[in-house]
A and B are shown apart, each in its own frame.
Chain A
Amino acid sequence: GAGVSQTPSNKVTEKGKYVELRCDPISGHTALYWYRQSLGQGPEFLIYFQGTGAADDSGLPNDRFFAVRPEGSVSTLKIQRTERGDSAVYLCASSLKVRDEQYFGPGTRLTVT
């Protein structure tokens, strides 16, 4: 079946601009995760949704980052006033509610110029 999809695959924006990154999880997966991966490093946890609510947002670096999942399926990661340090690959993963296994999408490469 279809895996996790993320759009856009690449996003270039200017410093100070607002961006939205979209994640479409595997059908039937109620848990959704956002991670950020800088070059040469492992993914770092940002936020986790169980259904529509954020169950754990402890990884969000500051209040410029926000994520929503209004209908319990698609999620949008929103970054305000982007900074060059926000440049990274943003990964989304999903899992079944009671399972540990997380399946990742291809990521969105964000470049802030």
Chain B
Amino acid sequence: GENVEQHPSTLSVQEGDSAVIKCTYSDSASNYFPWYKQELGKGPQLIIDIRSNVGEKKDQRIAVTLNKTAKHFSLHITETQPEDSAVYFCAACYTGRRALTFGSGTRLQVQP
């Protein structure tokens, strides 16, 4: 089955700096890669996703890149703000199966 590894496990940045979180996946059949933000005591919130037919997607301060050959994808947050502090999870699946396999999470702390 699919295996997703996520790094780093914790990340501390100064407000205004950029943050990058990286994930690798094992199943070359995977074609859908969402990113979730989870705040304490809440469920995961979908913030951006990418499909295997594109290499990059942006939404305001958030961007995701995908390298199918290397089987890795990354989340980029620019101009970080204290409210970006949360745990971020990457995930992967292929459309036929629908079950998401999640990474182990990155705790991002943005220092004001």
Residues of chain A having any CB pair with chain B under 8 Å: 4, 31, 33, 35, 40-45, 48, 55-56, 58-59, 91, 95, 100-107
Contacts and interface: CB of A to CB of B under 8 A. Distances in A.
A45 B99 contact: yes
Contacts, number: 62
Given A42-B89, A106-B42, A100 B101 contact: no
B49 to A, nearest CB: 7
B98 A56 contact: yes
B20 to A, nearest CB: 19
Nearest to A92: B43
A40 B105 contact: yes
Interface of B: 4, 6, 32, 34, 36, 41-46, 49, 51, 89, 91, 93, 95, 97-105
A59 B100 CA distance: 11
Contact of A102 (B46, B95, B97, B101): B46
